[in-house]
Chain A
Amino acid sequence: MARAPTTSDAFNAVAEPRRREILELLARGEKTVTELVSRLRLDQPQVSKHLRVLREVGLVEARVDGRQRLYRLAGSQLKPIHDWVKQFERSWTERFEALDDVLEDLKRQERRR
């Protein structure tokens, strides 16, 4: 019976240097197998094999666009959605702290008038 991939499977998949290169290329945007082959200087069966491993552990997903298949990072597997929300929250918190400084200046200006 097929077993659901675990997090340690994902880590093991990433331990392979060529698969890490694939992840780094996909981090910059979706790519076809042909594009990955030309960047990695591997042959197509090797790249396809690495992509299959990465898809099995949920780090990469594929979609069909017309006649080609595009591969991309499956971010939600790399990081649970809770972490995305926390990170998003953190960046807004930093932005609002800078806004607090602006508001203090505006309040001072109003008091002077």
Chain B
Amino acid sequence: MTAATRGGGAVVTLPNDTQILVTREFAAPKHLVYKAWTTPELVKRWWNAKRGEVTIAEIDLRAGGKWRYVMIADRGFEVAFHGEFREIVPNERIVSTEIYEGVPPGVPNEGTVNTATFRQSGERTVLTILIQAPSQQVRDLILQSGMEAGLQDALELLEQVAESLG
């Protein structure tokens, strides 16, 4: 039931060595998807992916304007991103930069250029986010970032497997 009305899972593909493409369909017209994407009090409700609380969502929605999101994850650590808008076409397209604030000192902290495109089809909207990284290394780090919280668990699992191998 839910699957029929909602968009299902996100689809992630790697168009080339430095890009990530995220695609998802929503059961809503594009002006509403755009509104949810660009309104701070609404961003606070979804950007956490149910893994924590978004404490700051600042959006200065104009070319050259800045944005910044901060989340306190349920596990206690803070995750923050910021960037600048490069191009705004209301209800159509947003081009912005994105930099993760948690990169350890000494590691190059290069951001990505993200293009969010909203395309309506009937009553539904297809959202695509093209993430352009400056290098393959940065692209791979972004892909791996989802694993950070689980890394400790992964090491513990690896340990159990290692012990079972005796």
Specify which of A75, A85, A91, A92 lies most central, judged by the most chain B CB atoms within 10 Å of its CB.
A92
**Partner among B10, B104, B143, B147 whose Cβ is within 8 Å of the Cβ of A96:** B10
Name the prevailing secondary structure of the A interface residues: helix
B107 within 8 A of A: yes
- Any A CB within 8 A of the CB of B76: no
**Alpha-carbon distance A70/B46, docked complex (angstroms):** 38
Per-residue B-contact encoding for A80-113, CB less than 8 Å = 1, 0 else: 0100110111111111111111111011001000
One of B50, B145, B154 near A98 (C-beta < 8 A): B50
Tell me if A95 and B32 are in contact (CB < 8 A).
Answer: no
Question: Who on chain A is nearest to B9 by CB?
Answer: A93
Q: Chain B: how many interface residues by the 8 Å CB criterion?
A: 46
A79's closest neighbor in chain B, by CB? B147
**Interface residue? A39 (CB, 8 A):** no
**Residue on A with the closest CB to B36?**
A102
- Judge if B51 is at the interface, Cβ distance under 8 Å: yes
- B122 interfacial by beta-carbon distance below 8 Å: no
Residues of B within 8 A of A99 (CB): 26, 33, 36, 46
Contacting pair B155 A24 (CB below 8 A) = yes
A-chain residues with CB within 8 Å of residue B49 when the two chains form the complex? 91-92, 94-95, 98
For chain A, the bracket of interface size reads 35 or more
Bitwise, A5-27 to B at CB < 8 A (1) or not (0) is 00010011011000010011001
Complex: A113 Cα to B145 Cα, angstroms:
42
Is the CB of B4 closer than 8 A to any CB of chain A?
no
A56 within 8 A of partner (CB): no
Contact A98:B48 (CB < 8 A) given known A11-B165, A27-B151: yes
Chain A CB within 8 A of B62 CB: no
Nearest B-chain residue to A86, judged by Cβ? B12
Q: Tell me whether A8 and B12 are in contact in the complex, defined as CB-CB below 8 angstroms, given that A27-B151, A102-B36 are known contacts.
A: no
**Given A87-B146, A92-B22, A30-B106 contact (CB < 8 Å):** yes
CA distance A65 to B11 in the complex (A): 37
Report A-chain residues with C-beta under 8 Å of the C-beta of B151.
27
Task: Report the minimum CB–CB distance from A112 to chain B (whole Å).
Answer: 14
Q: Is the CB of B162 within 8 A of A102?
A: no
Asked whether A46 is an interface residue with its Cβ less than 8 Å from the other chain, the reply is no
Q: List 11 A-B contacts (CB under 8 A).
A: A30-B106, A84-B144, A84-B146, A85-B14, A91-B49, A95-B47, A97-B6, A97-B50, A98-B46, A99-B36, A102-B45
B contacts, CB < 8 Å to A: 6-7, 9-12, 14, 20, 22, 24, 26-28, 32-33, 35-36, 42, 45-51, 104, 106-107, 140, 142-147, 150-152, 154-155, 158-159, 161-163, 165
